[in-house]
Structure formats: structure tokens, C-alpha cells
Amino acid sequence: MKFGILVNEGPYTHQASDSAYQFTKAALAKGHTIDRVFFYHDGVNNGTRFTTPPTDDRNLVNLWGGLAKEHNIDMVVCVAAAQRRGICDADEAKRHGKDGNNLADGFRISGLGQLIELGIQADRLVVFGD
């Protein structure tokens, strides 16, 4: 089965990001396909490289990035939600006159069209968070 994953909550605010990560890992281990994870609303906070949890805590940003690299998963952060929360890649930073960017490795910024495409192409779109 081909799953699409939508994450609407930040990595340390609610259980949604942890659950989405564990679901994604489990689905891949069972041989299912996941081509894209779309991060929306506060879920875009899963894509900032400035997240620095204590050393004895899990680093969900790095876990997502590692999963993306290992399984060639497209990790898309919604551009509008990211801009509202101060997350930008190098192109967006330049376009808006910012002096740096903070998008984590393994993530990219794009629009809601990527979510629509995900919903069309996946057999199931699984949503985590409100």
C-alpha cells in the first residue's frame, strides 16, 4: 500500500509527530511505500535545524531527516506555515531579505499543491494532529 503522511503538530508539543514517525517507520518495515511526508501548521517545526533537545531526549528533526535519507522520502514543509513560524530555506531567506536560513537537512519547502498531489497519489492519507 502507498501511504501519504500529513503531520500537523510540532515535534515536542503533542504526540502527533512521534506517532507519525513511528507509523512511518513501521509501515516501511512492513514493505509499504511512503513517498512523501507533508508538514503543515505547527508541524513545520519538525523541519527546523535549530531544534536542540537535551542529549537524553530524542531529536525528532534528525530522526525524520535520517528516515528521509534512508528511504528516499520527500519531506515537504508548507511554505506559508513555515514563513509564519520563521522557518525558511536559503531561497526564501534571500527572497525575504533574511540573513540566514534554518531548514533542516532532508526537508524542502513547497506549497499546498504538494499536499493535494500526495492525497491524489496515495492509497491512504494518514493525518497526525489537528
Concatenating the DSSP letter of every residue in the chain gives: -EEEEEE-S-TTTSSHHHHHHHHHHHHHHTT-EEEEEEE-GGGGGGGBTT----TTS--HHHHHHHHHHHHT-EEEEEHHHHHHTT---HHHHHHTT-S---BPTTEEEE-THHHHHHHHHSSEEEEE--
- pTM score, two decimals? 0.96
pLDDT of residue 13: 86
50-71 per-position pLDDT tens digit:
999 999 999 999 999 999 999 9
Annotated catalytic residue: which of 60, 78, 82, 118? 78
- Look up 78 and say whether it is catalytic: yes
CATH number of this structure's domain 2-128: 3.40.1260.10
